[in-house]
């Protein structure tokens, strides 16, 4: 698959599932189930030791699947993720060192921001799309509405505490391009290996849109 920019990736669907796997095998099954439900973009986090292996496995599942690595917190993670096949990176925050490491690795980055100072740093480094994290805890929809005034050109992918019920309200905002969420992979479904439920939730998420006004 040809390399995509973050701008292209975030527009491939309204929801990017945020994933953490216990094993590489679980990662493959869940990734397959999500893709069957129409989800094209996956964010597989490095929160568990299975992360890099799951990324490698997911990349080979389909030609139209775009696999990103989440929870990038150290510069060395960028090269490791790129080597595993990740096509983009997602970080909870941003430093100049992390930015440089992503550039050096050729890994398009969706950096996390929470405050106006974070946003100004991201803009200085050339980002026009950022992750707002943790979205719900950091002020949710009203905070993103407030950011739109001083930062009118910036687009957001809010992640953290978002649910199937609240997602449409985020997607209705003019400065939101997509949302990140973990509700597509409930712990109960994963424990029961109920991949049909994951596919059902993925299908519903793929059809989410902003509520009609």
Give tens-digit pLDDT for 139-172.
999 999 999 999 999 999 999 999 999 999 999 9
Q: Does the structure show a pLDDT above 80 at 8?
A: yes
Residue 19 is assigned to a structural domain of this protein: yes
Domain count, the chain: 1
Model confidence at 213, in pLDDT bands (50, 70, 90)?
A: very low
**Whether 43 is catalytic:** yes
Is residue 114 in a domain? yes
Give the separation between CA 118 and CA 112, rounded to whole angstroms.
8
Asked about 83 being catalytic, the answer comes back as no
Asked, for residue 59, whether it belongs to a domain, the answer is: yes
CATH code for the domain of 22 = 3.20.20.70
Please indicate, yes or no, if residue 164 is contained in any of the structural domains. Answer: yes
Catalytic residue among 56, 82, 131, 155: 131
Mean pLDDT of the chain: 96
Catalytic residue selected from 43, 56, 82, 155: 43
| Assigned domain for 156 exists | yes
Q: Do the domain assignments include residue 213?
A: no
> Residue 56 pLDDT more than 70?
yes
What's the domain range around 136? 6-204
Look at residue 162 in the predicted model and tell me its pLDDT: 97
Any domain includes 211: no
Contact present, 66 and 46 (Cβ < 8 Å):
no
- The answer to whether residue 44 sits within a structural domain is yes
pLDDT of residue 75: 97
Residue pair 184/21 in contact by the 8 Å Cβ criterion: no
Q: Give strand pairing partners of 156.
A: 130, 176
């Amino acid at each position: 698959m040809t390399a995509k920019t973050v701008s292209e990736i975030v527009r491939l669907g309204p929801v990017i599932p945020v994933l953490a796997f216990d094993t590489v095998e679980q990662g493959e099954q869940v990734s397959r189930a999500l893709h069957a439900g129409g989800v094209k973009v996956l964010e597989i986090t490095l929160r568990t030791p299975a992360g890099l292996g799951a990324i490698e496995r997911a990349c080979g599942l389909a030609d139209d699947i775009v696999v990103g690595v989440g929870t990038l917190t150290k510069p060395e993670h960028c090269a490791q993720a790129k080597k595993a096949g990740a096509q983009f990176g997602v970080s909870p925050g941003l430093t100049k060192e992390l930015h440089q490491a992503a550039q050096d690795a050729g890994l398009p980055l969706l950096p996390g921001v929470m405050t106006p100072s974070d946003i100004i740093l991201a803009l200085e480094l050339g980002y026009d799309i950022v992750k707002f994290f943790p979205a719900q805890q950091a002020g949710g929809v009203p905070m993103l509405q407030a950011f739109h005034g001083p930062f009118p050109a910036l687009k957001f992918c809010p992640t953290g505490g978002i649910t199937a019920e609240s997602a449409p309200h985020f997607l209705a905002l003019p400065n939101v391009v997509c949302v990140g969420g973990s509700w597509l992979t409930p712990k109960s479904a994963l424990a029961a290996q109920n991949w049909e439920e994951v596919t059902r939730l993925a299908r519903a998420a793929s059809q989410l849109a902003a509520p009609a006004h």
